[in-house]
Amino acid sequence: MTNLPRGLAGRTAVVTGGAQGIGAAVVERLCGEGCRVVVLDKSAEHGRTMVDHWRQQGHDVRLAVGDVTDEAAVRSAFADVPAEWASPTLLVNLAAGFVFEGLDATRADWHAALDPTIFGLTLVTREFAAGLPDQDADAAIVNMASISAHIAQEGYLTYNTSKAAVLGLTRCMAQDLAPRGIRVNSVSPGTVWNANNERFHREALGLDRAAAEAAPEHGGKFLLRRFADPAEVAAPIAFLLSSEASFITGTDLVVDGGYLAV
């Protein structure tokens, strides 16, 4: 085992989909660890708001506006890393297509589900790996899967399939990149109480967080009887990026409050 520094201070990370929800929590956590962060997100509005917020806190964060399926945008995100920053050696792939359809899914539905989640993830990872040294990069990648990758859910064919594919991608990437010292893992969170889930529970179900967590068919499905906060997913992602996880690669870390144990 090499004597690697335990912390992430001084490292540069790239986080796709980092302007909202879990992504924003990941950026917040990495900034707190002393990282400089490039946020690649297709939402200029959310991205600028969050980057301004982090910069006001004294963090070094750069926004690259673009879609992960756009090869030019991805190349630009890596090419425009400030010269005074260390080259990126940490990558978190969070951008995905959130399409919830069953067998009636159209070709357009499948493209919307798979293009960002699979092709975009692969494109970003390829560009990231191309900028690393051939060996001993001390680099790490974390991909975002889901508990939906592990189970069947009615009407979720497109989403669950895309997230199950992330598990396969992670294992294959880990094997391909291991000779260069690059670790690749994934995280499978359960339901996270972010803006989108809050909106869905309030508008579609008429439930606030307390009521949703108390409902047997919602929070009651988790052993901990609640949903996760975004920071509770960001923390294990930071762990997998760090040298504390130096012998972990090709695996999926389930962060689900006991959902899959039931």
Q: Are 244 and 137 found together in one domain? A: yes
Query: Is residue 1, in this structure, part of any structural domain at all?
Result: no
Instruction: Copy the structure tokens of residue 130.
Output: 């191309």
Q: Judge whether 156 counts as a catalytic residue.
A: no
Host domain of residue 207: 193-227
Query: Is residue 252, in this structure, part of any structural domain at all?
Result: yes
Q: Name 202's Cβ contacts closer than 8 Å, sequence gap at least 6.
A: 208
Amino acid 80: pLDDT:
94
Amino acid 182: pLDDT:
96
User: Which parts of the chain sit beneath pLDDT 50?
Assistant: 1
Distances, alpha carbon 228 to alpha carbons 81, 161, 205, in Å: 32, 23, 19
Query: Is residue 220, in this structure, part of any structural domain at all?
Result: yes
Q: Look at residues 141, 100, 96, 99 and name the one whose alpha carbon lies nearest to residue 118.
A: 96
Rounded to 5 degrees, φ, ψ at 234 are: -65, -35
Q: Are 101 and 198 found together in one domain? A: no
Amino acid 6: pLDDT:
66
Amino acid 77: pLDDT:
97
Residue of 159, 222, 227, 259 with catalytic role: 159
Distances, alpha carbon 240 to alpha carbons 48, 154, 179, 184, 221, in Å: 27, 31, 18, 9, 26
